[in-house]
Amino acid sequence: GENVEQHPSTLSVQEGDSAVIKCTYSDSASNYFPWYKQELGKRPQLIIDIRSNVGEKKDQRIAVTLNKTAKHFSLHITETQPEDSAVYFCAARIRGGADGLTFGKGTHLIIQP
Amino acid sequence: DTAVSQTPKYLVTQMGNDKSIKCEQNLGHDTMYWYKQDSKKFLKIMFSYNNKELIINETVPNRFSPKSPDKAHLNLHINSLELGDSAVYFCASGSPSGNTIYFGEGSWLTVV
């Protein structure tokens, strides 16, 4: 089955700086890569996603890049703010429909004032 | 309107008891899931149902039994609860395009 590795497990950045979280996946058939943000005590919420036919996608301060050849994808957050502090999960999915997401182990992002 | 709702939100129970968690989605999705999040925050899929039919059953003890009376509901019943079952259980549903998955608010299960 699919295996998703995520790094780092904890990332501390100064407010206003950029943060980058990286993930690799094992199954080249994976074609959908979402990122979820989970605040303490809350549900994971989708913040951005990318499909395998696209190399990069941007939404305001967040962007995701995908390298299919290397089987890795990254989340970039620019101009970080205190409300960006949370656990971020990458995930990968094969095909679609009833197949669930395979998640990375999460990155605890800490924004220091 | 809550898109994916699950009850109860908090559940404290003794070892050996049987408990159920209910989940409902009003998004019109065909697919519903149960995920378990352990104390280390790792999210792992347990079950997937598509139109009331079981699709994925990961390595989960058979004390866990999902039931889908219709495609808008997926309940999770757990028999003979053990200490290691303590976790947050998230219900989720998937969009018809088969990509985006939306999570419920989670059910915090504590077994004492």
B4 contact partners, CB below 8 Å, separation of at least 6: B23, B24, B25, B27, B91, B92, B93, B102, B103, B104, B105
What are the CA-CA distances from residue B36 to residues A43, A68, B39, B40, B90 (Å)? 12, 29, 10, 11, 6
- Closest partner residue to B105 (CB to CB) among A43, A95, A103 is A43
- Residue A99 DSSP label: P
What are the CA-CA distances from residue A47 to residues A36, A40, A94, B21, B39 (Å)? 6, 16, 20, 27, 23
Amino acid at B71: K
- Closest partner residue to B99 (CB to CB) among A89, A96, A98 is A96
Q: Which of A54-63, A66-75, B64-73, B91-100 has the lowest mean pLDDT?
A: B91-100
CB–CB contact B49 A100 (8 Å): no
Least Cα separation, residue A98 to chain B (angstroms)? 6
- Distance, in Å, from the CA atom of B34 to the CA atom of B69, rounded to the nearest integer, reads 15
Q: What are the tens digits of pLDDT across the range B24-55?
A: 999 988 889 999 999 888 999 998 888 878 87
Q: What are the tens digits of pLDDT across the range A40-94?
A: 999 999 999 998 888 999 999 999 999 999 999 999 999 999 999 999 999 998 7
Least Cα separation, residue B16 to chain A (angstroms)? 27
- Distance, in Å, from the CA atom of A62 to the CA atom of A37, rounded to the nearest integer, reads 12
CB of A65 closer than 8 Å to CB of A54: no
Q: How many CB atoms lie within 10 A of CB A95?
A: 11
